Amino acid sequence: MKKEIHPESYRTVVFRDVSCDYEFISKSCAPSKETTTWEDGNEYPLIKLEISSESHPFFTGKMKFVDTAGRIDKFNKKFKNFGIKKDEEQDAAAE
């Protein structure tokens, strides 16, 4: 491995999966502006995750519908008229 390319500022942080409110504690050098109190009474930096092993279908064995920040509504609004033009042209050609 190359020397002096890995960060040295690892610290204990709490990771929270916001889709299922699962928390775990680990070491990381990722920046965080939020903090939380862990079970031992100490305060640690908090890093929020959208998905973890507790909510990912590969690990849970079941599909879980997660709509973060209205992504599905945004997608449906963006593509609601997609494909309509071709259908109308085909109907007109058939008549």
pLDDT tens string 58-84: 666 676 565 566 777 778 888 888 776
| Predicted TM-score (pTM) of this structure | 0.58
Nearest to 12, CA basis, from 48, 43, 53:
43
Handedness of CA 63, 65, 66, 69 (dihedral sign): positive
Position 39 scores a pLDDT of: 92
Low-confidence stretches of the chain (pLDDT beneath 50): none
C-alpha to C-alpha distance for 8 and 57, rounded to whole angstroms: 34
Amino acid residing at 51: I
Phi, psi dihedral angles at 74 (to 5 degrees) = -60, -45
Position 91 scores a pLDDT of: 59
Q: Is 25 in contact with 38 (CB distance < 8 Å)?
A: yes
Position 83 scores a pLDDT of: 73
